[in-house]
Amino acid sequence: MTGEADVLTHRVLVIDDNASIHDDYRKILAGHEAGKISDAEAALFGEQQPKVERPTFDVDSAMQGRDGVERARQALAEGRPYSVAFVDMRMPPGWDGLETIEHLWGVDPEVQVVVCSAYTDYDWLELLSRLGHSDKLIVVKKPFEPIEILQCASALSRKWANARALRQHVESLELVVTDRTRGLEAANRKLRHLASHDALTGLPNRLLLDDRITQTIAQSDRQSHEFAVLVIDLDRFKIINDSLGHRAGDELLREVAQRLKNAVRNVDTTARLGGDEFVILLGPPITESEALAVARRVIQLMEPSMRLLGIDVHITPSIGMAFYPRDGRTVDTLLAHADAAMYTAKERGRNNVQCYATGMSAGTQDRVRTESELHAALRGGQFELHYQPKVDTVSGRINSAEALIRWRHPQRGLLQPCDFIGIADDCGLLDDIGEWVLHEACRQAKAWQDQGLPRLRVAVNLAPSQFRLTNLVDQIRRALDAAALDPQLLEVELTESAVMSDAEESILILEAISSMGVLVSVDDFGTGYSSMSYLRRFPIDKLKIDRCFVEEMTRRPEDASIVRAIISLAHSLHLKVIAEGVESSEQLSLLAELGCDQYQGFFFSPALAADKFVALVRQAQANQPSSEEDEAERTHSKLAALGRSGRR
């Protein structure tokens, strides 16, 4: 920095009423001939030594103090301020030197000042009292030596340059600190926002919702007003999320959040608790009829479809409502009671609103208890499989069995799937339970072989979410390997909606399953898409006619026609057909007449525990002639059959 200061050109302002003295200053400060020697001198004394670089000065003049101050103001405005000012003390008829310096520092407080005068009307102490202790002021007595002026100009200009550089550096540091401070403040604001808002939808989260409900309680107590809390849960959201993927599910949640915000006032709060559960806080004062109107508006706004992955998806809300103070006086109580009312809305058909009533909490508490007990049941081996035989329609021979889960509850006894599967799905246990079913069914099928039973195929139901697991094929392979079971003896059953949710991905999964030799059946056929194209494209081996058609087919010709059409379609595509829910001889006779291959239902047998199923099979064996070829040998998966024919 010192070297740079030496070669800088500094601006110097001379304020003096004597015109001739301005020439003296220029000769001293800006003279370019100074220091040069003549040719004779060079011959006499030798070549001139390289001169030392010194500051150069650009000198401006002013005859009066007022003019000098104006020049300083203009220089500052141009961004080229003076570093040093030489000021005479007496400059009649205008300002004297002291007044000039005061005005000069008022314009540019950084300029260095040298007072040059033959005499002065002020002593040094008076100067200090007027101008204050200053390190920017030097007094030089006229007549002065040139070296004095040059030394003052050099030293003060360097001091001015260093001070200016330091000031600029400090200002630069201040800008950096300011920018970083702003960045930290922005980051802190973002962190505070993330701490109190849902990252996906931008809505307030549980933390902020609790705070706002607490504030609303205080406000309501002061004003003796009611307010309402609405808990909103999306019906069938998990099916959409599992079928179309989490990205589509996230997009749906963002759209739902926007629609909910559009349903309420700006003073109300719409929050997301997590998953597909939202809360609306309707601030006071609000009546029950007004709150119900908001809930109905929410239902109405949910009616238009949402376009997800090229599919028009419809979503409906189940809404529970609780009021302060009659339904609870704390945040947790209000939310729990609104949640209980929401579950009541689901039990009463979904897509409706229910206000909390005494007794609703018991159902919610039972649900929470059941969720906890399901975790314990999976760990403690409380689940068991019962097996319903699948029977040949013509011969009456048991060909296979469908594995159906039961829960041996320690207190409540044997529970049917309808008592716990929905809750298991909601709490995320269904896939784990499904994997257990897969392993247990394979183990049991192998155990029956070891007991000398015929080679019976076992069918296992796959939930839509389990079908979409990335490791499903590995799960099936591990279950077969662990039991050392022939893949021909395993059959997986899937609903139409699970298969059709993502057709291209489904083809890949089904081809991998079928290539192992495992059979694939479409369950509840006729109640979903019933698309002819997927029957042709997918490696499907069997169709199961839904019980709703079988139940009425002997009384309703329309249902009989549907069953006939399904059987004809399946056979034309070389698929086996199974009818489920057969409960009478009339139904069986009609199915046999229509050419249905197999059936299952209470007419032959309900689902039985493994030991009772074995007894049923042995009894059937005793009453029927032995078959030369078992059903597993007659029926192969499509792709496995293609592989066999290719090897031949």
Cβ proximity of 267 and 215 under 8 Å: no
Q: How far apart are CA 100 and CA 15, in angstroms?
A: 9
Burial 195-232 (b: 16+ CB within 10 A, else e): eebbeebebbbbebbeebbeebbeebeeeeebbbbbbb
Q: What is the DSSP string of 94-132?
A: S--HHHHHHHHHHH-TT-EEEEEES--SS-HHHHHHHH-
Cβ proximity of 421 and 437 under 8 Å: no
Cis (ω within 30 of 0) for the bond into 606? no
Residue 45 has pLDDT above 70, yes or no: no
User: Which token pair is 249?
Assistant: 């599910």
- Quickly count: other Cβ atoms within 10 Å of residue 602's Cβ: 12
The hierarchical CATH code for the domain 206-358 is: 3.30.70.270
pLDDT in the model for residue 537 = 79
Burial 308-324 (b: 16+ CB within 10 A, else e): beeeebebebbbbbbbb
Residue 578 one-letter amino acid: I
Highest average pLDDT, of 50-59, 123-132, 342-351, 361-370, comes from 342-351
pLDDT in the model for residue 4 = 44
Cis (ω within 30 of 0) for the bond into 284? no
Q: Exposed, middle or buried: residue 583 (CB in 10 Å: 0-12, 13-18, 19+)?
A: middle
CA angle (398 as vertex; 559, 588 as ends), nearest 5: 25
Task: Name the band, by pLDDT with cuts 50, 70 and 90, for residue 436.
Answer: very high
The larger pLDDT score, comparing residue 632 to residue 237, is at: 237
- Work out the angle between the directed axes of helices 237-244 and 246-262 (0-180°, nearest 10): 140
- Quickly count: other Cβ atoms within 10 Å of residue 444's Cβ: 20
Parse the chain into domains and list their residue ranges: 2-169, 206-358, 369-641
What average pLDDT does the segment 407-429 reach? 88
CATH superfamily, with its number, for domain 369-641:
EAL domain (3.20.20.450)
Residues in the chain: 648
Please name which of 426, 104, 107, 106 lies closest in space to residue 115, comparing C-alpha atoms. 104
Long-range CB contacts for residues 264-267, cutoff 8 Å, separation at least 24: 264/294
Place of tokens 């002061």: 222
Place of tokens 């749906």: 252
Task: Name the band, by pLDDT with cuts 50, 70 and 90, for residue 640.
Answer: low
What average pLDDT does the segment 120-129 reach? 71
- Quickly count: other Cβ atoms within 10 Å of residue 24's Cβ: 16
pLDDT in the model for residue 112 = 93
Q: Where are the alpha helices (DSSP H) in 197-227?
A: 206-223
Q: What are phi and psi of 143, to 5 degrees?
A: -75, 140
Mind listing the pLDDT tens digit for each residue in 463-482? 888 888 888 999 999 999 99
The larger pLDDT score, comparing residue 40 to residue 2, is at: 40
Q: How far apart are CA 4 and CA 405, in angstroms?
A: 89
* Pick among 3.40.190.10, 3.90.76.10, 3.40.50.2300, 3.40.50.300: CATH of 2-169: 3.40.50.2300
Cβ proximity of 11 and 82 under 8 Å: yes
Bridge partner list, 400: 390, 457
Residue 1 has pLDDT above 50, yes or no: no
